[in-house]
Amino acid sequence: MFNTVSARQIQREYKKILEKANKSKEPIVVMANNKPLGAVVGLEILEKLQIEAVLDQALKDYKAGKTKTISTMEELEADFAEMKKEASL
């Protein structure tokens, strides 16, 4: 079961709750009127979630045939140059 805090506690003790979320490495559910309203997560959990999302998207792209194989350093450099050019547009 997740740790919970009230929305009012967040207003009064946000710093303490953020520290607890970072230390416990578990989400803290924010409750309002005895209903879950949201969650506070530590930075470590957030980073893991972001990495998981990127990996999931990469796997979907791979399965859909949207990836390519790069065999040489020259191909890699050319690909990066192309990405930089597209990013600057």
Task: Extract the tokens encoding 25.
Answer: 């490495």
- Range of 1-5, 12-16, 23-27 with top mean pLDDT: 12-16
pLDDT at 28: 97
Residue 37, SS3 per DSSP: strand
**Domain segments of the chain: what residues?**
3-87
CA distance 2 to 24: 11
pLDDT at 1: 76
pLDDT at 65: 94
For 42-89, how does the pLDDT look when each residue is reduced to its tens digit (9 = 90+)? 999 999 999 999 999 999 999 999 998 999 999 999 999 999 999 987
Strand 3-6, strand 28-32: pairing: parallel
Backbone angles phi, psi at 78, to 5 degrees: -65, -40
CATH 3.30.950.10 applies to domain 3-87: no
Question: Alpha carbon of 33 to those of 9, 24, 36, 58, 80: distances in Å?
Answer: 13, 25, 8, 40, 52
Task: Extract the tokens encoding 24.
Answer: 């416990």
Q: What percentage of residues in the chain have a pLDDT greater than 90? A: 93
The pTM assigned to this predicted structure is 0.69
